[in-house]
């Protein structure tokens, strides 16, 4: 089992749609969680951190379920500019810590 | 707001040549990382450093070397370039287990 697994993509959605991505992680000692977005041929950029109580930033909502070891990202009212690859990132506690990036889920938002 | 700066942005090497990819950050982050990303694939960790004078191997260290003589700089050295090292290289930094900040990458082709 991969340490961090994401929904296989690509997701093709129309503008205005709501889309949800899930990500599972294998190490129950994982401490912190993030969503990044990566545009084609660009560097990954932090989208949002994921907190235990869930958190929202405009059209984006992130949730964490420690019992089931998954995190999710919900995008409401999709825009063309949301087209990108979304990376799930997990920090494991391994004495020091270890950051694991998921392989990413590709999103295409179409007019 | 420089953040993480990588140079060069593009480079073409011949097989067997050597080069150093430069990375510097001005955020006083203790952790620094080097990743490579092949087309359509996820990030793979090459080397990382938890502070000046300390480096450690990641997932794919073969063919690369690093040094960390200062907090700010984390150069990546390719000694004998091979076609398999054609990739996009990203440097990143973080303060402990906080989110990583990425440079905008070096696109390297080896012919």
**Secondary structure tally for chain A: helices H, strands E:** 0, 11
B39-43 long-range contacts, CB within 8 A, separation 24+ = B41/A103, B42/A87, B42/A101, B42/A102, B42/A103, B42/A104, B43/A44, B43/A87, B43/A101, B43/B90
What is the tens place of the pLDDT at every residue in B34-59? Answer: 999 998 899 999 999 999 999 999 99
- State how far the Cα of A57 lies from the Cα of A48, in Å rounded to an integer: 8
| A102/B104 touch (CB, cutoff 8 Å), yes or no | no
Q: Looking at residues A18-37, what average pLDDT do you find?
A: 93
* pLDDT at residue number A55: 94
Q: Does A32 touch chain B (CB under 8 A)?
A: yes
* pLDDT at residue number A20: 96
* pLDDT at residue number A92: 85
Distance from CA of A99 to the nearest CA of B (A): 8
Residues of chain B with pLDDT under 70: 1
3-state secondary structure of B83: helix
| B102/A102 touch (CB, cutoff 8 Å), yes or no | no
A91: closest CA among A34, A24, A6? A34
* pLDDT at residue number A69: 94
* pLDDT at residue number B92: 98
* pLDDT at residue number B20: 98
* pLDDT at residue number A59: 98
- State how far the Cα of B85 lies from the Cα of A31, in Å rounded to an integer: 33
Token code pair at residue A82: 């949301």
Q: Looking at residues A70-86, what average pLDDT do you find?
A: 97
* pLDDT at residue number A40: 92
Q: What H or E segment, with its residue span, contains residue A109?
A: strand A105-110
- State how far the Cα of A18 lies from the Cα of B14, in Å rounded to an integer: 47
- State how far the Cα of A50 lies from the Cα of B100, in Å rounded to an integer: 14
Residues A90 and A30 sit within 8 Å (Cβ to Cβ): yes
* pLDDT at residue number A7: 86
Q: Looking at residues A29-54, what average pLDDT do you find?
A: 93
């Amino acid at each position: 089992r991969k340490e961090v697994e994401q929904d296989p993509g690509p997701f093709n959605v129309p503008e205005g749609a709501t889309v949800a991505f899930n990500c599972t992680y294998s190490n129950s000692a994982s401490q912190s969680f993030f969503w990044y977005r990566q545009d084609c041929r660009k560097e990954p950029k932090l989208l949002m951190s994921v907190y235990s109580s869930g958190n929202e930033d405009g059209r984006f909502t992130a949730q964490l379920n420690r019992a089931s070891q998954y995190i999710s990202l919900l995008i409401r009212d999709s825009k063309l500019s949301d087209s990108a690859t979304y990376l799930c990132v997990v920090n494991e506690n391994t004495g020091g810590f270890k950051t694991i990036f998921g392989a990413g889920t590709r999103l295409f938002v179409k007019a | 707001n420089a953040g993480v700066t990588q140079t060069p942005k593009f480079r073409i090497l011949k097989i067997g040549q050597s080069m150093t990819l430069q990375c510097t950050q001005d955020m006083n982050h203790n952790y620094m990382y080097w990743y490579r990303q092949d087309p359509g694939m996820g990030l793979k960790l090459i080397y990382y450093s938890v502070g000046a004078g300390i480096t450690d191997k990641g997932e794919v260290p073969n063919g690369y070397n690093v040094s960390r003589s200062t907090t700010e700089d984390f150069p990546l050295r390719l000694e004998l370039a091979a076609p398999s090292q054609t990739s996009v290289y990203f440097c990143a930094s973080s303060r402990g287990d906080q989110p990583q900040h990425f440079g905008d990458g070096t696109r390297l082709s080896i012919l």
